Every structure is written in C-alpha cells, then in structure tokens.
Amino acid sequence: MLLVARGMAALTALAEELTATGGEAHTLSLDLTAPGAVAAIGAALLRHGLVCDVLVNNAGQGLVGAAADLSAADQLGILDLNLRAAVALALAALPGMRQRRQGGILNVGSIAGFMPGPGMALYYASKAGLRSFSEALWQEARGHGVVVTLLCPGPVRTPFLERSGAGKARIFRMLPKAKAQRVAIRGWAGFRRGKRLVFPDRLSWLIARVAPLLPRRLLLGLLARLQQQR
C-alpha cells in the first residue's frame, strides 16, 4: 500500500500498524491540492515498483457557516480537495486499471451528496459532485473489469467533526455517530461486491432515500435550522 496524507506522524503510525500485521506499507507526505500532486504519487508508485490496483479517495474537509461569511479561498479549497483532487487521481488511475481489466476506485462520499446543505454549502456541493462522478464512472467502467464504488456514510466518529466545526451544529449533535472501523469494513465489502453505492447502516440509507423526496423548500429550511451552531 501507498499511504498519502499531509501529516507524516499519523502516516508513519499507520504504516507501522499495517506492517506489523504482515502487510507492506509505504508513506508519502503530500498536500493533494498542490500542483503536481498526482505526478508525485505516480513517481512514488514507480519508486516502490507498484501500480495503482485500488484507489481509495478518503481525503476531505468541510466548514460550517454561511457561504457569504466564510473565506472564499477556504471554501474553494473544499472543492479542490473533496472533488478536484479525487477526480484527478481517478482519471490518472483508470486507464491502467482498464488495461489490466482489474482493480477499481472506492470514493468516500456522504449522505450530504443527496441534498443541498445551507450552512455547509460547499461541503454538500462537493459530495454531490463526487456522487455524480462516481455513478457515471461505475457505468463506464463496469464492462472493463473495473469497479467504482461510492461509500455514503452519515456522521462518523472522526476528527473531521471537530476540525470542520460540524460537531457543534445541531444536526450532528442529534444524529448518532458511526464507528469509523465499521464504516470502512462495510465500504470495503461493498466495493469487493462491485456495488455502485454503499450505505454502511440503515440510518444513512434512510436519509439518502427520504431527503430527495421532501419538498425542496421544506428541506432547505429544515437543514438551515439544523446546521446552525449551538
């Protein structure tokens, strides 16, 4: 495995954990939004004699607040990481996967991709874009031996809630938080079965199914209230 993230300490700890279980893990400290990030990952794969058989796009960030009140640069950074970087990596990996007729992409989305999100507008928009892209790729790749799966969890117990400020919003205080390990296991299992969408629990499935059926005006007002910070 090639593990990529900005924080080297966390990468090293994870690599040691994986190696202790008999795996082989290499690390690359990298900002995925930086110019040349895709080329840097490609060079790292070559150095270790690897090819990208499975790409897991898990990097993401978000911000809570009205779009007009938040930094424009910070909000555009959400799109750069959550959507643009994930798309760029997928486009780089897909040709080799198709040629080998194996492997695939596991994108980590969210139930946020099934509705608009006043109070976290750019985060919800990025996940909606990733959902659309993933589903289109699933159809395009399925005849070439390649799987593209979108994992769609609700709130997960990770540092994301604190870093984004989402943990203070009413909706995230109300909804139960899933365990990250459980979500990861179910996402991987769904990917191995070739599923297009994976909902790790019944609550995420229910929200994703019901939200698009609600009158849009009602849904927008409800989400705006629920995503206010306490």
Active site residue 124: no
Find tokens 């995925």 and name the residue. 32
Q: Which of 114, 123, 133, 138 is catalytic?
A: 123
Tell me the CB-side half-sphere exposure of residue 220, using CA atoms within 13 A.
6
How far, in Å, CA of 18 to CA of 12, rounded?
A: 10
How far CA 116 is from CA of 75, 94, 96, 198, 216, in Å, comes to: 15, 29, 35, 20, 9
Element of type H or E holding 85? none
How far CA 100 is from CA of 42, 97, 114, in Å, comes to: 17, 5, 33
How far, in Å, CA of 141 to CA of 143, rounded?
A: 6
The residue length of the chain stands at 230
Amino acid letter, residue 170: R
Any alpha helices (H) in the chain, and if so which ranges?
8-20, 37-47, 72-79, 86-100, 121-141, 160-164, 170-174, 180-192, 202-210, 216-226
Q: Would you please indicate which residues are annotated as catalytic (active-site) residues?
A: 123
